[in-house]
Homo-oligomer: A and B are copies of this chain.
Amino acid sequence: MSQLTIIDLAAKLGLSKSTVSRAFRNSNDINPETKARILAMAEEIGFSPNLHASNLRVSKSQTIAIIIPEFGNKFFSQAIKGIELVTRSKGYHTLIYVTDHQVQNEASIIRSLSNGRVDGILMSASGEGNDHSHLNLLKDNNIPIVFFDRNYDDINTVYVTGNDEEASFLATEHLIKNGCKRIAYLVINPNISIGKVRMDGYKRALKKYKIPVDDQLVLDTVNQAELNTEDIRELLRDAKPDGILASVERLAISTLRVAKEEGIAVPEDLKLICFSCLDITDLLNPSLSVVKQPAFEMGKVAATYLFESLAKPVKLEEQQTIILDSSLIYQDSSKKIS
């Protein structure tokens, strides 16, 4: 039963294989009745056309890839959900890859996709550095790529992101208005993409309120909880901030844990706000103020752009940034104590 072909099916029905082939494509060059007979028989004997043969013929895979740096937070699962929705509605398939924030992994994944495996790529960039040459392979093979959330700004393509600079500005301003004088900014990578943009908004707010930027209050730390926890503990002890803007959720979570351990009360002694897509911030103790990015929407929009460029042979050559609004949700963790 394993290797049926259109020839077997054709033989069973006294037709030629081209007719059978037409039945499976959306060819209009076929008698609807014939088509129905063919499809019925296919159903009966459990046949469906071999994918690889078809793909080889038409040089299409009906598949896209999602490449993300990690799987740790709600942002990416929501974004993937949005992407998967669009992909499925288009009858496409979705490959998923996780780089663990390693550019080498990203490069090797990209290489493994440049041989026809996918028709397009959605990626949240993993790396820093300037060597993005692995992406040239995609251009050579006419595989469009759309970035979401994290990009490389030397690559000319579509980039879908939140209004991070503005949101960061507003979040910082909110802390200032609630009485904070020494606001720290926690970040994983202050030099690229979201880490940088969010810092820009933070600095702009400080400037507006004539608060000098204090490098001691900018904590450049890492992903691993065990490590960033200690960095944050030092920050709280040495720099004694009274407010914190965390550029990613994980750093806010670590902050809450450290504050608890150190006996620092949130929001009384320390006000906290962070970028996060967590959907239970209201149940935390204290309830957590967040900049909530439209993750699901972002996935949908990014996927939609990708499919547009797949539909028309026009390439995504110009740098184009699509900005989606985040929501600022102020809760207890940043509340003014009166």
A173 within 8 A of B: no
Complex CA gap A71/B141 in Å reads 32
CB-defined interface of A85-113 with B at 8 Å, one 1/0 digit per residue? 00010000111111000000000000110
| Residue in chain B with minimal CB distance to A45 | B140
Check if A253 is an interface residue, CB within 8 A of chain B: yes
Contact between B93 and A81, CB atoms less than 8 A apart: no
CB neighbours of A256 from chain B (8 A): 283
Q: How would residues 36 to 74 of chain A score, 1 for a CB under 8 Å from any chain B CB and 0 otherwise?
A: 000000000010111111011001010100000001100
Q: Is the CB of A116 within 8 A of B283?
A: no
Q: Are B98 and A95 in contact (CB under 8 A)?
A: no
Size bracket, chain A contacts: 35 or more
- With A52-B56, A56-B50, A283-B285 known as contacts, the answer to whether A95 contacts B97 (CB < 8 A) is no
Q: A71 contacts which chain B residues (CB < 8 A)?
A: 77-78, 80-81, 84
Pair A49/B115 contact, Cβ less than 8 Å: yes
> How distant is the Cα of A290 from the Cα of B283 in the complex, in angstroms?
15
Q: Are B117 and A96 in contact (CB under 8 A)?
A: no
How many angstroms from the CA of A55 to the CA of B116 in the assembled complex?
11
Q: When chains A and B are docked, how far (Å) is the Cα of A207 from the Cα of B284? A: 35
Contact A52–B48 (Cβ < 8 Å): no
Interchain nearest-CB distance for A280 vs B (Å): 6
Q: A103: shortest Cβ distance to chain B, in Å?
A: 16
Binary flags per residue of A267-289, CB closer than 8 Å to B gives 1, else 0: 00000000000001011111100
CB-CB contacts of A247-277 with B at 8 A, as 1s and 0s?
0000001001100000000000000000000
Cβ of A114 under 8 Å from chain B: yes
How far in angstroms is the closest Cβ of chain B from A258?
Answer: 12
Distance in angstroms from A133 CB to nearest chain B CB is: 11
Task: Name the distance in Å between A64's Cβ and chain B's nearest Cβ.
Answer: 10
Measured CB to CB, the nearest residue on chain B to A96 is B96
A65 CB to nearest B CB, Å: 8
A240 to chain B, nearest CB (A): 23
Instruction: Please measure, in the bound complex, the distance between the C-alpha atom of A111 and the C-alpha atom of B48, giving whole angstroms.
Output: 9
Q: Which residue of B lies closest to A60 (CB)?
A: B52
* A residues 280-322 in Cβ contact with B at 8 Å: 280, 282-287
Cα-based distance from A136 to B45 in the complex (angstroms): 12
* Chain B residue contacts of A280, Cβ below 8 A: 253, 284
Q: How far is the CB of A81 from chain B (nearest CB, A)?
A: 5
State the Cβ distance, A248 to closest chain B Cβ, in Å. 14
> Is the beta-carbon distance between A80 and B93 smaller than 8 angstroms?
no
Question: What separation, in Å, do the CA atoms of A64 and B51 have in the docked complex?
Answer: 15
A137 at the interface (CB under 8 A from B): yes
Instruction: Provide the residues of chain B in CB contact with A112, threshold 8 Å.
Output: 93
Contacts of A53 in B (CB 8 A): 52, 56
- Nearest 8 Cβ contacts at the A-B interface: A285-B285, A52-B56, A52-B55, A48-B115, A71-B81, A51-B115, A51-B116, A1-B140
8 additional A-B pairs beyond A51-B116, A80-B96, beta carbons within 8 Å, are: A53-B56, A63-B95, A88-B97, A88-B98, A257-B282, A283-B284, A284-B285, A285-B285
